[in-house]
Chains A and B, each alone.
Chain A
Amino acid sequence: MNRVAKCVRIGHGQRARIALTALALLFCMAPTPGDVGGCGQKPAELDASIFFASKANIDCQRCQECGVASKSCMRACDVSLALPTQFPERCVPLVHDGEVCLRALQYASCEDYRAYMSDIAESVPSECNFCPEPAP
Chain B
Amino acid sequence: MPRFSLISLPGVALLGAAWLTTLVSGVQPACAQAKPSAGLPRYQTPIAGADGYWQGFSSLSLGKGLRLNNPYRLATPLGDSPESVSTTAAYYDLGFGVVHGPAQGIAHGGVLHLSIAAQGIPQEVLSLSYTALGRFDSGRWLLFGRGGVPIVLEPDLSGGLEVAVGAAFLVTAGLGVQSELVGSLYYGAGTQDRSVTTIPVLSAQLGLFVDYEVLP
Chain A residues in the interface with B (C-beta under 8 A): 14, 17, 21, 24-25, 27-43, 92, 94, 96-97, 100, 103-104, 106-107, 125-127, 129-130, 132
Nearest residue in B to A41 (C-beta to C-beta)? B189
Pick from A29, A39, A92: contact of B66, CB under 8 Å = A29
Given A28-B203, A39-B158, A94-B192, the answer on whether A33 and B67 have CB atoms closer than 8 Å is: yes
Chain B residues with a Cβ under 8 A of chain A = 63-67, 72-77, 82, 86-91, 93, 113, 115-117, 120-125, 127, 150, 152, 155-160, 162, 169, 179, 181-182, 184, 186-192, 195-197, 199, 201-206
CA–CA, A39 to B72, complex, Å?
14
Among B115, B156, B179, B202, point to the contact of A21 (Cβ < 8 A).
B179
Given A32-B123, A37-B158: A25 in contact with B206 (beta carbons within 8 A): yes
**B169 engages A17 (CB within 8 Å):** yes
In whole angstroms, what is the CA distance A42 to B187 when docked?
12
Residues of A within 8 A of B63 (CB): 30-31
> Chain A's interface: helix, strand, loop or mixed, by majority?
loop
When distances are taken between beta carbons in the complex, the residues of chain B under 8 Å from A33 are 65, 67, 88, 123, 125, 152, 160, 184, 186, 188, 199, 201
The residue that A100 contacts in the complex, of B74, B150, B162, with Cβ under 8 A, is: B74
Whole-angstrom CA separation of A29 from B77 in the bound complex:
13
Given contacts A36-B189, A103-B121, 15 further A-B contacts (CB under 8 A): A28-B64, A30-B115, A30-B203, A31-B127, A34-B67, A34-B74, A34-B75, A34-B86, A38-B156, A39-B159, A39-B188, A43-B192, A94-B190, A126-B75, A127-B74
Most B C-beta atoms less than 10 A away, residue of A34, A39, A106: A34
Task: Given A28-B64, A36-B199, verify A127-B75 contact (CB < 8 Å).
Answer: yes
- Alpha-carbon distance between A100 and B156 when the two chains are bound, in angstroms: 11
Cβ contact within 8 Å between A39 and B115: no
Interface hub of A32, A33, A35 (most chain B Cβ within 10 A): A32
Could you list some 23 contacts between A and B, CB below 8 A? A28-B64, A29-B66, A29-B87, A30-B89, A30-B115, A33-B67, A33-B186, A36-B74, A36-B188, A36-B199, A37-B188, A37-B189, A38-B158, A38-B189, A39-B187, A39-B188, A39-B196, A94-B192, A97-B72, A104-B121, A107-B120, A107-B121, A127-B72
